[in-house]
């Protein structure tokens, strides 16, 4: 069987910092109106990706802060949740993004904390899991959203943490990884959500770090890129999901970082800036954040340091006084 992977051409791509800044700043402008409208159902997250990425490479500076904060307010609902865009329904995914953006702007105290806490804690089920909204879809992504969102507001003791942790534990698989629900297959993104939740809850003792760390290390393909499951193609976003998890588990030395860097840099758009899922594809803010964030964990260039649990600038996490748990090397 041929291994699924991509081939990088031998020319090393130069690092186009200035173009990445231009690319990120162009969102919200005329030129991206089409994409922005078609993607409005996830716009709040889109803004979190773009603004966090910009923060990392633009000396922590974010333009139009007031406008952005106004946008968040325009997506606030009376229940305490946030929608991706005005007119859409509130959801845990966008509630986390709204809180993350407010933290980036150092304006989280202006949010209605009590209401957000009430919205999030009502979504917790008897088994400790969380639904994404009132319609009942359960997923470990939402466990992470709930824990991250509330801990950023200093309120994660307002939910049943013991049960939240029990639920995540029930999603653990034979390979040491985690899936979206009990029984579901391990997947790089969901592993990040589960390990991230346990890091916030200070319960990384529940992870079999050697078994999972090895499985994650096996996600690195000959191209240097990481995939999210066995026998799948590499993708820049797994450079974050998989690599940050390895970092949290104190095992990021189990892959070849230089080759990962090469893969991420090859996925830059050298003309217009930004990163795509893999070399040669269209760039977008989602892959731009996760590419830059992974490079940040590897201390590339002058990218500001990122926190592996929250995927937010370390300076912001420190300012909030948060100390998510990480494991040391074996």
CB closer to other proteins, 65 vs 89: 89
* Dihedral angle of Cα 279, 285, 286, 289, to the nearest 10 degrees: 90
165 contacts 144 by C-beta, under 8 angstroms: no
User: Minimum distance between the CB of residue 280 and other proteins, rounded to whole angstroms?
Assistant: 6
CB closer to other proteins, 153 vs 226: 226
13 contacts 51 by C-beta, under 8 angstroms: no
Choosing from 43, 91, 156, 203, the residue that interacts with other proteins (CB under 8 A) is 91
Please give the Cα distance from 165 to 144 (Å, whole number).
10
Q: Give the footprint of other proteins on residues 29-58 (CB under 8 A).
A: 33-34, 37-38, 41-42
User: Minimum distance between the CB of residue 29 and other proteins, rounded to whole angstroms?
Assistant: 15
Please give the Cα distance from 238 to 177 (Å, whole number).
14
Q: Which stretch binds other proteins (CB under 8 A): 49-57, 74-82, 117-125, 277-285?
A: 277-285
* Residue-wise DSSP of 33-101: HHHHHHTGGGHHHHHHHHHHHHHHHTTT--S-HHHHHHHHHHTB-TTS-B-SSTTSPPBHHHHHHHHHH
Please give the Cα distance from 94 to 42 (Å, whole number).
8
Check binding of 109 to other proteins (CB under 8 A): no
Binding mask 220-249 for other proteins (x = CB under 8 A): x---x----xxxx--x--------------
Check binding of 254 to other proteins (CB under 8 A): yes
Residue 275 pairs in a beta bridge with 268, 284
Binding mask 177-196 for other proteins (x = CB under 8 A): --xxx-xxxxx---------
Q: Which stretch binds other proteins (CB under 8 A): 17-25, 72-80, 156-164, 208-216?
A: 208-216
- DSSP one-letter code for 149: H
Q: Both tokens of residue 239?
A: 């450079």
CB closer to other proteins, 209 vs 316: 209
List residues binding other proteins (CB under 8 A). Answer: 1, 3, 33-34, 37-38, 41-42, 83, 87-89, 91, 133, 135-137, 139, 173-175, 179-181, 183-187, 205, 211, 213-215, 217-218, 220, 224, 229-232, 235, 250-251, 253-256, 259, 269, 276-277, 280-284, 286-287, 328-330
């Amino acid at each position: 069987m041929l291994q699924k992977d991509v081939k990088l051409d031998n020319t090393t791509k130069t690092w186009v910092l200035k173009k990445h800044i231009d690319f990120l700043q162009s969102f919200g402008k005329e030129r991206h109106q089409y994409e922005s409208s078609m993607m409005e159902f996830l716009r709040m997250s889109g803004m979190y990706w773009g603004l966090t990425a910009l923060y990392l490479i633009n000396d922590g500076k974010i333009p139009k802060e007031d406008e952005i904060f106004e946008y968040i307010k325009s997506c606030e609902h009376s229940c305490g949740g946030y929608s991706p865009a005005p007119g859409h329904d509130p959801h845990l995914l966008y509630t986390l993004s709204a809180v993350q953006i407010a933290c980036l702007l150092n304006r989280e105290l202006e949010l209605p904390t009590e209401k957000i806490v009430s919205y999030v804690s009502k979504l917790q089920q008897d088994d400790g899991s969380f639904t994404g909204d009132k319609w009942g879809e359960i997923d470990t992504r939402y466990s992470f959203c709930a824990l991250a969102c509330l801990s950023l507001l200093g309120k994660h003791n307002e939910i049943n943490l013991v049960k939240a942790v029990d639920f995540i534990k029930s999603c653990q698989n034979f390979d040491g990884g985690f899936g979206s629900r009990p029984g579901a297959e391990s997947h790089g993104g969901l592993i990040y959500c589960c390990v991230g939740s346990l890091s916030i809850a200070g319960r990384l003792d529940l992870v079999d770090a050697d078994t999972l760390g090895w499985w994650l290390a096996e996600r690195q393909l000959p191209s240097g890129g990481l995939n999210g499951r066995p026998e799948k193609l590499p993708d820049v976003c797994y450079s974050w999901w998989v690599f940050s998890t390895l970092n949290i588990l104190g095992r990021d030395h189990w892959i070849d970082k230089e080759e990962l860097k090469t893969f991420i840099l090859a996925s830059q758009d050298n003309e217009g800036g930004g990163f795509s899922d893999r070399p040669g594809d269209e760039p977008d803010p989602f892959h731009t954040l996760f590419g830059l964030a992974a490079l940040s964990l590897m201390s590339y260039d002058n990218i500001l340091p990122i926190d592996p649990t929250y995927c937010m600038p370390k300076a912001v996490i420190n300012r909030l006084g948060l100390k998510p748990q990480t494991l040391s090397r074996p």
